Structure formats: C-alpha cells, structure tokens
C-alpha cells in the first residue's frame, strides 16, 4: 500500500468484492434498476412499528442475505463498517445488534457506503483481515422525518428536493482470484461552494461541499 | 470554464440547472382551492346563522369545523395530497395550521406519547405560536399605553 499524490492510496494486495446484496422499497421496485436487487419490499414499514425499525430491518436482512449468498457465517467476518443517515447511526447499530461482529459506525451522508469500502479494503490489504462486511441503509420516510418535514404535512416539495432511497446494501470484501478488485481509493475533500438551500441536498451536500470519494476497480 | 471554480459561478450553474417551481400553476391551484376552503367556511357560517346562532358563535363554529375537517383529512392521509396540489391554498387558511400540528403528532407517535407526540407536536407550528403570541403581546401593550 502506498500513497499516490495528495489524496490517493494504491492498494497492492487486490482486496476483492466477494459478494453483494441489496434490498429496497416500493419506489425502487418501479425504477430501472429493479432487476438488480435481491428483494423488493412493497410495505414501507415492512411489518414494523416505525420507519426507523423498518430501516434497521432492511440492513439486518440485507446483511443476512449477503452472508447467505457468500456462504460465510458472521463469525468469519472480522469487522463490519456500517452507517446510515439517522442520529447515532441507529439503524445500523440495531441492525447489527445480533450479528456479534466488531463494529465501526460510519457517517458520510451519501458517501457512507464508499467510505466503508475504502476503509474495509485497507483492512484487507493490510493482510490482517480475511473478511470485511460493509453495509449501509436509508429510508425515505425516516430521512424526511429527520431532515425535512413530517410526511403528513400538506406542503409542496421543491423541484430540487431529492428522494432518499428506501433500502440497504451490503458487500463482503475479502481476497479472491477473480475481481472486482479495489485498486485505488481517493477520498474527497470538503469544498463549500456556498449553496444554502437545505432542501437541495445534492447541491449543498453532494457537491456544494464535495465529499466525492472514489474507489477505483 | 469549470462550474465549480468559485461559489459565485457554482451558484449560477446550480440556478441554471435547477428546475423552477411552476409558479403560475401553483398560484392558480392555490387560488381556487383556497377560495373553495373559504366558501366552505362561509357556507357553514350561513348554515349556523340560519339555525339561529349569533355572529361570534358562527365564526367560532366555522373555525372549529374547518380545524376538525383538516385534522380528519390529515389522519386519513388525504390532506397531504391536497396540500401537494394546492400549496398555499390549504396551508395558509386555518386548515394548514391544524395540519401542521397534527402531522408531527402522527409522525412522532412512534417515539411515545410524552417524548414523541407531546414534545414534538409543535415542531412545525411552534415558531408561528412563539412569534404570533409575542407580537400580539407587544401590540397589546402598545394599545394599552397609547390608545
């Protein structure tokens, strides 16, 4: 592993994405990517009493799906890197509660998942770890509740209000002979370009303050 | 030229790319739905008067009825759909105020009746109450002193 330039790390030992899983909600089911998801859930509550509990269930089920697909038990996972949009990464914490895997909680807003991949691949590249789990979740309803207004409020969304995904994704990183490999990671810097419209999260979070983090495969 | 060179250029770039609200359509819908809400209120008023109530009581009944209607529609998840269409037409009248208190109460019910419903009920309407009541106190004091 060595540093290239100012921001990039080159990984020499080919950390590999061994398996992936994604479970999503009803809006994603109707989107163009529907066929790539492992499961689409039509009920936004997924049988739970609150959206936060539903989000926890999304990440929990996604993790058990990816473990099942990779045929790895949770005791073979060295560390998990997980995060979400809610206070104290609450859905990841509750989602991971029963897995008994050492846990790193991350918050990087939109970049949380790639942040997890970056850090996890460094752990694999170091040679100290065999399997790393990276996971993230978000839920449209819990995010609206936390960052905007209650869903029952009769207001109008501005045309630049983005829709938060309802769903969760997980990958297992390890080492294998065939890829996809993670070869380089380039974390972004915070760049504040002064967009103050809190509803326009893509411009104010995503690129107004750039947190563009790249993993190069 | 890179649009991310400076905040000013980026601001202009975002402004150019961001879709605008359909103001004419929004105004039109707000106008006729808001008007309709007022007509419903006026109908209730006439009905009460016809039944023999005095004018002050009629106004009170109108407010109570519209608030109850807005709360009912919020509870069955219809008000937010009307609000998405009508915007200020349903937010500005007393219906919007009722909705702004009921919607957080519904949303935060999952966090319990004390710390959820009780504590979060006024997250949307709270500022209106704080500054509305403060302003009325100041106006009242001024009226008391100078009139």
- Report the chain B residue with the minimal C-alpha distance to residue A202: B14
Q: CB–CB of A193 and B11 under 8 A?
A: yes
Give the best residue of A142, A143, A150, A207 to mutate against chain B (max B CB count within 10 A).
A150
Contacts of A154 in chain B (CB under 8 A): 74, 79-84, 86, 90-91, 96, 99, 103
Query: Looking at residues B12-29, what average pLDDT do you find?
Result: 88
Q: Would you say the C-alpha torsion B129, B133, B139, B140 has a positive or negative sign?
A: positive
Are A96 and A59 within 8 A, CB to CB? yes
Nearest to A144 by CA among A74, A90, A63, A199: A199
Q: CB–CB of A155 and B83 under 8 A?
A: yes
Write the DSSP assignment of B63-94 as a string of letters. HHHHHHHHHHHHHTT-HHHHHHHHTHHHHSSH
Under the banding of pLDDT at 50, 70 and 90, the label for residue B73 is very high
Under the banding of pLDDT at 50, 70 and 90, the label for residue A215 is low
Residues 6 or more apart whose Cβ sits within 8 Å of residue B129: B122
Query: Looking at residues A36-57, what average pLDDT do you find?
Result: 93
Residues 6 or more apart whose Cβ sits within 8 Å of residue A186: A7, A8, A9, A213, A214, A215, A216
Write the DSSP assignment of B1-52 as a string of letters. --TTSSHHHHHHHHHHHSPPP-HHHHHHHHHHHHHHHHHHHHHHHHHHHHTT
Min Cα–Cα distance to chain A from B101, Å:
9
Residue A205 has pLDDT above 60, yes or no: no
Contacts of A195 in chain B (CB under 8 A): 10-11, 14
How many CB pairs below 8 Å do chains A and B form together? Answer: 85
Under the banding of pLDDT at 50, 70 and 90, the label for residue A72 is very high
Q: CB–CB of A195 and B14 under 8 A?
A: yes
Under the banding of pLDDT at 50, 70 and 90, the label for residue A207 is very low
Contacts of A157 in chain B (CB under 8 A): 84
How far apart, in whole angstroms, are the C-alpha atoms of residue B76 and residue A40? 26
Are A80 and A103 within 8 A, CB to CB? yes
- Report the chain B residue with the minimal C-alpha distance to residue A144: B107
- Range in A171-175, A180-184, B41-45 with the lowest mean pLDDT: A180-184
Q: CB–CB of A194 and B10 under 8 A?
A: yes
- Range in A85-89, A189-193, B11-15, B99-103 with the lowest mean pLDDT: A189-193
Contacts of A152 in chain B (CB under 8 A): 74, 77, 79-80, 99, 102-103, 106-107
Residue A187 has pLDDT above 90, yes or no: no
A75 in contact with B, Cβ within 8 Å? no
Lookup: tokens for B13: 């770039």
pLDDT at A199: 64
Min Cα–Cα distance to chain A from B119, Å:
14
Least CB-CB distance to A152: which of B26, B96, B106?
A: B106
Mean confidence (pLDDT) of chain A:
88
Residues composing chain B: 147
- Domains of chain A: which residue ranges? 2-185
- The residue with greater pLDDT, B118 or A197, is B118
Residue A139 has pLDDT above 90, yes or no: yes
How far apart, in whole angstroms, are the C-alpha atoms of residue A182 and residue A122? 9
A2-185 CATH choice from 3.40.47.40, 3.40.50.300, 3.50.50.60, 3.30.70.1140: 3.40.47.40
Least CB-CB distance to B103: which of A152, A156, A194?
A: A152
Query: Looking at residues A20-27, what average pLDDT do you find?
Result: 94
Min Cα–Cα distance to chain A from B135, Å:
25
């Amino acid at each position: 592993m060595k540093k290239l330039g100012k921001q990039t790390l080159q990984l020499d030992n080919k950390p590999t994405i061994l398996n992936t899983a994604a479970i999503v909600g009803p809006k994603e089911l109707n989107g163009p990517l529907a066929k790539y998801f492992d499961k689409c859930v039509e009920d936004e509550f997924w049988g739970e009493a609150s959206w936060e509990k539903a989000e926890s269930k999304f990440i929990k089920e996604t993790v058990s799906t990816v473990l099942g697909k990779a045929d790895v038990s949770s005791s073979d996972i060295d560390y998990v890197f997980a995060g979400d949009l809610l206070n104290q990464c609450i859905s990841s914490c509750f989602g991971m509660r029963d897995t008994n895997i050492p846990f790193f909680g991350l918050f990087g807003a939109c970049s949380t998942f790639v942040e997890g991949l970056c850090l996890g691949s460094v752990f694999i590249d170091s040679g100290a770890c065999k399997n790393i789990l990276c996971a993230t979740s978000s839920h449209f309803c819990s995010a609206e509740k936390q960052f905007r207004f209650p869903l029952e409020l009769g207001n109008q969304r501005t045309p630049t209000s983005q829709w938060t995904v309802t769903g969760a994704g997980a990958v297992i990183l390890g080492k294998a002979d065939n890829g996809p490999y993670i070869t380089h990671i380039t974390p972004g810097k915070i760049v504040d370009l002064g967009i103050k419209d809190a509803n326009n999260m893509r411009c104010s979070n995503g690129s107004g303050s750039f947190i563009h983090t790249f993993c190069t495969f | 030229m890179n649009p991310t060179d400076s905040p000013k250029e980026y601001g202009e770039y975002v402004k150019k790319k961001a879709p605008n609200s359909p103001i004419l359509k929004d105004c039109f819908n707000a106008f006729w739905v808001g008007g309709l809400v007022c007509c419903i209120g006026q109908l209730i008023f006439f009905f009460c008067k016809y039944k023999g109530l005095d004018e002050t009581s009629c106004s009170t009944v109108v407010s109570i009825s519209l608030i109850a209607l807005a709360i009912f529609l919020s509870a069955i998840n219809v008000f937010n759909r009307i609000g998405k269409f009508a915007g200020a037409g349903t937010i500005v009248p007393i219906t919007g105020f009722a909705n702004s208190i009921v919607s957080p109460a519904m949303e935060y019910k999952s966090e319990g009746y004390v710390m959820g419903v009780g504590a979060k009920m006024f997250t949307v309407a709270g500022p209106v109450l704080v500054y509305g009541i403060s302003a009325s106190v100041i106006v009242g004091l001024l009226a008391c002193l100078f009139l």
